[in-house]
């Protein structure tokens, strides 16, 4: 059953890859901030209908969650804004190499220290070497 989640994660990655180039093109036509706004507006409208027809949660519980758990939308907006800005300048692949590197580095820190209530997965030598190899690949990919 775990493979279904892995396939869903791959599908999510494919969607984000397509989103980057689509939003980058939109940003060239209507502006970076405006394209980021439109992306979130359309996504919000779509999620409204998903919640309306399939939602089973409780919006009233929002007052009971730690306030730090409410910044996800801001971080998502920052991500979309950065991708709209960078993809037309450096391309989808270079942008994603860098985005993935940033994701992996912060993930290593979060896992190592168990931040935000996560389980601790310590950094070891093998993982550190993998991180250095990833940095090397980013350099090689972008070196002219």
Encode pLDDT of 78-131 as tens digits. 999 999 999 999 888 888 888 888 888 899 999 999 998 889 999 999 999 998
Q: Could you tell me if 17 and 67 lie in one domain?
A: yes
Question: Are the C-beta atoms of residues 36 and 23 closer than 8 Å to each other?
Answer: yes
pTM of the predicted model over 0.85: no
- Distance from C-alpha of 21 to C-alpha of 58, rounded to nearest angstrom: 35
Say what the pLDDT of residue 78 is.
93
Quick one: pLDDT band at residue 137, thresholds 50, 70, 90? confident
Residues 6+ apart with CB under 8 A from 114: 120
Residues 67 and 83 in one domain: yes
Give yes or no for a contact between 131 and 105, defined as CB atoms under 8 angstroms apart.
yes
- Whole domain around residue 114: which residue ranges? 91-144
Q: Bigger pLDDT: 1 or 92?
A: 92
Based on the domain organization, do 6 and 76 belong to the same domain? yes
Cα atoms in the 13 Å half-sphere on the side-chain side of 36: 17
């Amino acid at each position: 059953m775990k493979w279904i989640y892995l396939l869903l994660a791959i599908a999510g990655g494919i969607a984000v890859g397509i989103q980057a180039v689509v939003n980058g093109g939109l940003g060239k036509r209507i502006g970076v901030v405006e394209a980021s706004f439109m992306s979130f507006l359309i996504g919000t409208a779509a999620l409204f209908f998903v919640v309306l027809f399939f939602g089973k949660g409780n919006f009233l519980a929002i007052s009971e969650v730690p306030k730090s758990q409410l910044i996800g939308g801001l971080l998502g907006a920052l991500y979309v804004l950065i991708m709209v800005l960078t993809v037309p300048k450096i391309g989808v692949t270079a942008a994603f190499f860098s985005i993935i590197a940033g994701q992996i580095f912060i993930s290593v820190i979060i896992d190592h220290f168990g931040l935000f209530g996560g389980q601790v997965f310590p950094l070891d030598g093998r993982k550190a070497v993998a991180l250095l190899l990833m940095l090397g690949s980013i350099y090689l990919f972008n070196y002219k």
